Amino acid sequence: MDSKGMLALPSTASSMATSNDPQHLVDALPYLDNEPSAEDRQMALQLIEVECRTFRPTKDYLARLSKPNFDVFLTPCLIEEYKRIGNKQEMDKLDMSRYEMPSPANTSRSTDKKAWIKALDNGKAQLEHLHLRNMNVEIMDEYASESCLQFNKLLEQTHKKEEAENFQIRTEVLETHVRRKRSQLEGGDKLKQLGQGWVEHVTKNYKMELANLDLERQINNLAKKLKVDPGVIESDFSIPRPNVYQERQRKEISDEFRFLEERRAFSQKDDLHKRTSVRFPLRYRQYLFATLAILQIVVSIGMFIFAITRYSRLFTQNAHSDMLFDFVKAENFVDTNQEGAEIIAIKLGSGLFLPAIFQLISGIVVLGSVYKKPPPTYLLVLCILLTIFSIVLWIEPLVLATLELNLRHIQFLSDETNIAYFRLMIVLTVLLAIDVLIVASMLLIYATAQFTHFRTIYNSIMDLHINIVTLIIATIALVLSIYSLANSMTDANKWRNSSRNTLALYGIGLRESILTSYIFLGSLFSMLVSAMRLQTFRFSTFFIQGLSLFMLISNLLNSDRITSVTHNVRVMLNVGTAEPFTGEILLLLYVFVLLLAIAILVQLFTTTFNIFKHFLDNYETPRKLSYPEYQRSAL
């Protein structure tokens, strides 16, 4: 009989005999079994009919049980009420006489002294009752509100306690589902392996049987040719084994075993539970990331030495000065621009210490994680944290380095002989920015990509569209920031002062161009990961997007920046400022910066949703799944 994975239930006699036998436990697997079909249901009904024929109930099959006492919960009041309802009598009306105050006046008892005394006593009782009610109302006005509050607090505590118990029970239920699913999936894998092993063993046994039959035929043929008894040959002579070719064996296999070659897998449950997405089989090159880590270490050591030389100027050039520096912006309140440039140089040195230290430690940690297989989790987490700190802290030194170069070679000097040196320093600054931002981000991507349990992730088409929108907005913001930078870093002495403190526009676009360039590359990376469905880097995009959003908000959307931009745009539009750029350019730049922050935030939401929605996929309830029909051997 061909079965489709359903369990044949034993009869009553056999089930009672084997109820304690662990070999006959019910092995229903709701996470693996198919839904019962019409044929399975019909077979179950037939088994039930067979069970009903075996079970012969008698008329008094409840005689072994004690007779129920239906009057155990009746009270005298209920008995009287049942009698009244049985007699169809109406319920007695409420006696309202105690609330009435009949007066003997205008009655036959108007001259009866006892009647008047009774009426007077009734009135006193009613007044006393009203006085008691007034006292209760006063007490309620004074204490009822607090009592209600206490009662509400008690109800809230009870509600929280019940919610906690409910949450605990639900958690236990989910954990039970997790254990059931895990055990059933492991059991399914084991059944699959056993089924495949059974097929292999049956095939080998059958081939051995065919080979034995072939040998027996050859022995009989040789015995006939030699005209001897086959038994004598077996006992007295050693006959060499004939060559049995595999092709002849394959041709002689019975059709009964042809199903073994075309037999489908035991279960395709595993394929259904795997995420259907493209995987990029990237194998990380050990020497590549080791080289990048060594490069980071060398650059950080060089920057640390450079920071010491710059920071030491604070103790040599300003030793006899009595001027106090501003705590927010140290170059404020200086007498000349040369002094401001010198303070910026010292700030550059002091600002290089922390990012250089973080980059040095992160490079060492990356080297340790590269050469330890598999990389320890604590090293990867340290690498992620230190790299993020170093990238965030490198923004300010890059801005200060560019400002110092512009001040010394554009604002103060106009000698043509310094152009080559200026261009060389600009190239070195760009290379430094690429190293401390892009190469560090590559190491961050390497560290996050090692978390293999985040690789089973869904890809959504919405995520790809949001990445494209973010890339477009980042491109526009980058173009506007480069335009602003190219105009604001020119010689400020040639600007036309259309408003007071026009120098406040100096350097606008520098910080914006650095951040938008980084966000542009990060958005391009996220779009490629979504388009190519590279699950290895999906968790990396989460950190890149979060880091981009944090740097954008902390540098360009803080309170000082928003206040200054809003005020300056209003003033520039009122006075018609045209140098170094118009107010419309500044307004458009920060409108797209704000749109870029919103786009990255939405992108971060979708990425987080796609990563963590199905991360705990064990918390799933049994559902209908289509499975291939299980085939059973005729053996």
Lowest mean pLDDT among 232-246, 413-427, 457-471: 232-246
* Tokens 């590279």 -> residue: 534
Q: Kindly tell me if the per-residue pLDDT of 15 is higher than 90.
A: no
Reported confidence tier of residue 335, pLDDT bands at 50, 70, 90: low
Identify the pLDDT of residue 67.
84
Count other Cβ atoms within 10 Å, centred on residue 315.
9
Query: Among 551, 557, 567, 546, which residue's Cα sits nearest to residue 590?
Result: 557
Q: How far is CA 409 from each of CA 404, 406, 421, 494, 599, rounded to the nearest angstrom?
A: 8, 5, 9, 15, 38
Q: How far apart are CA 634 and CA 266, in angstroms?
A: 16
Q: Each residue of 266-309: pLDDT tens digit?
A: 444 444 334 444 443 444 467 788 888 889 899 999 999 998 98
Q: Is residue 353 a contact partner of residue 307, using CB atoms and an 8 Å limit?
A: yes
Lowest mean pLDDT among 246-260, 277-291, 382-396: 246-260
Count other Cβ atoms within 10 Å, centred on residue 104.
18
Q: Kindly tell me if the per-residue pLDDT of 21 is higher than 70.
A: no
Q: Kindly tell me if the per-residue pLDDT of 261 is higher than 50.
A: no
What lies within 8 Å, CB to CB, of 544 at 6+ separation is 441, 444, 445, 522, 525, 526
Question: How is residue 40 written in tokens?
Answer: 């399975």
Q: Each residue of 498-524: pLDDT tens digit?
A: 667 777 788 888 899 999 999 999 999
Q: What's the pTM value of the predicted model, to 2 decimals?
A: 0.53
Q: How far apart are CA 518 and CA 388, in angstroms?
A: 13
Q: Is residue 353 a contact partner of residue 318, using CB atoms and an 8 Å limit?
A: no
Q: Kindly tell me if the per-residue pLDDT of 408 is higher than 60.
A: yes
Lowest mean pLDDT among 19-28, 99-108, 542-551: 19-28
Q: Kindly tell me if the per-residue pLDDT of 248 is higher than 70.
A: no
For 363-430, give the secondary structure using H, E and C.
Answer: HHHHHHHHCCCCCCHHHHHHHHHHHHHHHHHHHHHHHHHHHHHHHHHHHCCCCHHHHHHHHHHHHHHH
Q: Each residue of 437-456: pLDDT tens digit?
A: 998 998 888 888 887 555 55
Q: How far apart are CA 4 and CA 44, in angstroms?
A: 13
Identify the pLDDT of residue 634.
40
Reported confidence tier of residue 413, pLDDT bands at 50, 70, 90: low
Q: Which helix (H) or strand (E) holds 554?
A: helix 538-556
Q: Is residue 407 a contact partner of residue 347, using CB atoms and an 8 Å limit?
A: no
Q: How far apart are CA 9 and CA 449, in angstroms?
A: 50
- Which is more confident, 104 or 168? 168
Q: How far is CA 318 from each of CA 308, 314, 344, 397, 401, rounded to the nearest angstrom?
A: 16, 6, 13, 21, 20
